[in-house]
């Protein structure tokens, strides 16, 4: 027997997109944080692995997500009203 499938509404698409964006931002944010710190800290040739270890040792795991509430809010708002590709850094 075939089962009847429910139609995907624009609301469903929006919610799934918002959840996906939040998940993607949560996963990539630590990398972006460390990469930014490496750019600011000139004169040292520290690899990504060592930079992550140092950040976790000095600040704990939460240090990888400093400032996250602001960027998560911006990314979610950008999804609702996009300003163009890459306009918010998300």
Q: What is the chain's pLDDT, residue by residue, as a tens digit (90 residues)?
A: 667 788 888 888 888 888 888 888 888 888 888 888 888 877 778 888 888 898 899 988 888 887 666 666 666 666 665 555 544 555
> Does residue 5 fall inside a structural domain?
no
Domain holding 78, by residue range, is 30-39+46-82
Residue at 61 is within a domain = yes
Say if 16 falls within a structural domain. no
Q: How many domains does the chain have?
A: 1
**What pLDDT is attached to residue 57?**
93
Task: Indicate whether 23 belongs to any domain.
Answer: no
Q: How high is the pLDDT of residue 38?
A: 84
| 14 to 20, 41, 42, 87: CA distances (angstroms) | 10, 39, 41, 20
What is the value of pTM for the model shown?
Answer: 0.58
11 found inside a domain: no
In-domain check, residue 77: yes
User: Does residue 80 contact residue 62 with C-beta atoms inside 8 Å?
Assistant: no
Residue 13 lies in a domain: no
């Amino acid at each position: 027997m075939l089962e009847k499938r429910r139609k995907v509404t624009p609301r469903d698409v929006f919610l799934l997109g918002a959840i996906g964006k939040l998940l993607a931002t949560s996963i990539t944010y630590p990398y972006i944080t460390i990469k930014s710190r490496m750019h600011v800290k000139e004169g040292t040739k520290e690899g990504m692995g060592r930079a992550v270890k140092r950040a976790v040792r000095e600040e704990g795991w939460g240090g990888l997500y400093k400032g996250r509430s602001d960027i998560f809010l911006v990314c979610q708002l950008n999804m609702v009203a996009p300003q163009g590709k890459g306009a918010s850094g998300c």
